[in-house]
Structure 1
Amino acid sequence: MSPADLSAVAAPRTVTVDGSPVHVMEHGTGPAVLMLHGSGPGTTGSGAWTTTAQALGASWRFVAPDQAGFGLTPIPAGSAGRLRMWTEQAAGLMDALGHEHYAVVGHSMGGAVALALAAERPEQVTHVVAVATMGAPGAPLSPDLDAIWAAPAGPAGARDMISRLVLDPALVTESAVAARAEAMRAGEAAFASLFPPPRARWAEDLTLSARTLAGIRAPVLLVHGAQDRVTPLSTSALPLLDHLADVRLHVLGRCGHVPALEHPHDFRRLLSCFLGRNRDH
């Protein structure tokens, strides 16, 4: 990054949303883009999106929160349901930050939240990028997602989880395993309450109805790995093509569940091109 880019970096901070703290990383300058991470234990907003935000921060203002139950963001008291909780918190965060119009990028669980937010806030959400997304009506809980939600904290659980997330075993490095194991241990208590067995109910909670999806006005880009075992292409992205009014799908070959990590240059080009369409806000 250039010195000008560095000046746009804001230190992570805590924003109060409906009386509850939300830990958020902000980076870059330009139109706002809300970045929503996935549901694996140890996942955080900064861990999922810092590399992408740093690469594209000269053009957009990226907002990457730890969603409730992840990282440094606690689960708000009295929350009911998972999708509703994360959707309301995301909307409240962008309101608190003063962003009247914004794009939303979501990975896996975050993709379902992004789609739900677009349906809930049609006047605010300008674009949706749903990556390896959940949310399709009737999508079942895959064995790999079930195993990820059940992964024990520590190196063995971290190694198994990363192995399920990516296609190329070369990406399962010792440093990646150590970092994820540490993050899993730090968030173990909060995560334990999010997806207790039987876990199929939580996958069902993260699906959207055909009516909700049909009401989304914003253009949607689906980005999916052809070899994704966690949210398989056939049950996750393809069914959404029948329900979204303005949608396009880009499938990356030789790619598992994390396109931003497995094909970072292709992913950033797709993101930049799509977010640059009709930049009226």
Structure 2
Amino acid sequence: MTSTTAPPELRETTYDVAGRKIFAAETGDGPPVLLLHGGGPGASGVSNYRRNIGELAKEYRVIVPDLPGYGRSTKGIDSADPFGFLSDHIRGLLDELGLHKAHLVGNSYGGACALRLALDTPDRVDRMVLMGPGGIGTTRALPTPGLNSLLNYYTGQGPSRLKLEKFIRHYLVFNAAEIPDSAVDERYRASIDPEVVASPPLQRPSGPNALRTLWKMDFTRDARLDRLPVPTLVLWGANDKVNRPSGGRTLAARMPNCDLYVAANTGHWVQFERAALFNRICADFLAGRR
């Protein structure tokens, strides 16, 4: 999680998807791969995958969008069906890119987006890599301390640098020393964008339809999971404090074409903390090299 400034080799484009602006950075040639970022405060595509884009671009056309509600994309999402809203817009981005099919790589919130897109339209997904995805058993146990920290960021007295630093250093990664102060500062500045504060993209469901929304956000209640044909690799940090590592075993048991890799001494951000391992295993899996 270093600077979020895009390296000069990245081509930057803003696409019109269903009347909303979706920003995406792109580099490389080869089979298309979309890297979908997580949902923490101040997140964006390039900052989430800073340690991975260059390596994957040696073999793939790497496309890194800012998900709706984040970065340079239009703010605000449909809180009644967040994962469906995200996946609809990423599918629309594929259309704008002229791609019928692509590989999807998703971390946390982005993993939930990828999985929902695959469940709704499996013909649009070639292969899929999920790192600690959201929505795995979320209605079957109390939220983790890390998820509570994330969901509470905009509540109470509102966002603060201290709250964000605690989330990143204590819950997001295994080794807090790897996170420079400048990275926390960058994420904090992005998190207090007035449009984001007015409509946080990741919130605790509330209101009369909250239970229905929660059920939509729990993939373990979706019977389609048992017959999803998309070849999938699930990577999970053994020390993930945001999404429970047991979710990996759940997916491997339910999905008919799913491999699972659990990384020791690793938190929620596998692609950052174990970048060399992630880059190698991701590139090999997407290419069908076992």
Relative to the length of structure 1, the TM-score reads 0.88
Unaligned 5+ segments in structure 2 are 1-6
In the alignment, which residue of structure 1 is the partner of 2:174? Answer: 167
Deviation at 1:71, TM superposition (A): 1.3
2:163 counterpart residue number: 157
Percent sequence identity over aligned pairs? 28
Asked if 1 retains the 8 angstrom alpha-carbon contact of 2:39 and 2:202, the reply is: no
Counterpart position of 2:94 = 94
Match of 1:181 in 2: 188
> What is the aligned counterpart of 1:263 among 256, 264, 274?
274
Distance in 2, matches of 1:162 and 1:23, equals 24
Amino acid at match of 2:94: M
Greater alpha carbon shift after TM alignment, 243-252 vs 192-201:
192-201
C-alpha change, 1:190 and 1:96, in structure 2 (3 Å) is farther
Aligned to 2:286: 275
Residue in 2 aligned with 1:147?
Answer: 149
| Distance in 2 between residues matched to 1:87 and 1:43, nearest whole Å | 17
3-state secondary structure, aligned to 2:187: helix
**Which residue in the other structure is 1:225 paired with?**
237
Question: CA RMSD for the aligned pairs?
Answer: 2.5
SS at match of 1:94: helix
Partner of residue 246 from structure 1, selected from 248, 257, 262? 257
Distance 1:271 1:51, change over 3 A: same
Give the distance between the partners of 1:247 and 1:94, measured in 2 at CA.
Answer: 24
Instruction: Compute the displacement of 1:75 (Å).
Output: 4.4
Cα distance, 1:170 vs structure 2: 0.8
CA distance in 2, matches of 1:9, 1:192: 31
Q: How far does the alpha carbon of each residue in 1:206-249 deviate from its partner, in whole angstroms, 9 at most, with x for none?
A: 22234121232111100000010100112x21211221010110
The letter for the 2-side match of 1:223 is: L
Indicate the SS of the match to 1:195.
coil
Q: Please state how far the C-alpha of 1:90 moved relative to its aligned partner.
A: 0.8
| Matches for 1:17-28 after TM superposition, within 5 Å | 17-28=17-28
Deviation track 1:17-50 (CA, whole Å, cap 9, x = no partner) reads 1121111111211111111111111011111123
TM-score with structure 2 setting the length: 0.85
What amino acid does structure 2 have at the position aligned with 1:95? D
| TM-fit CA distance, 1:268 | 0.6
Which deviates the most, 75-84 or 16-25?
75-84
User: How many residue pairs get matched?
Assistant: 272
Runs of 4+ in 1 over 3 A off after TM superposition: 7-10, 75-80, 137-140, 196-205
Helix, strand or coil at the partner of 1:192: coil
For residues 176 and 276 of structure 2, what CA distance do their matches in structure 1 show? 19
Whether 1:46 and 2:54 are equivalent positions in the alignment is no
Mapped pair 1:216 → 2:218: no
Whole-angstrom distance in 1 between the partners of 2:27 and 2:160: 30
Give the letter for the 1:150 counterpart.
Answer: N
Question: 1:50 is paired with a residue of what secondary structure?
Answer: coil
* Stretches of structure 1 lacking an aligned partner (at least 5 in a row): 1-6
Q: CA deviation at 1:99?
A: 1.1
- Write the deviation string for residues 142-200 of structure 1: whole angstroms up to 9, x where unpaired: 22111112224332122111121011121232122212212212363255364056598
The amino acid that maps onto 1:35 is L
Matching residue's letter, 1:159:
E
Please, which moves more after superposition, 45-54 or 76-85?
76-85
Q: Which residue of 2 aligns with 1:119?
A: 119
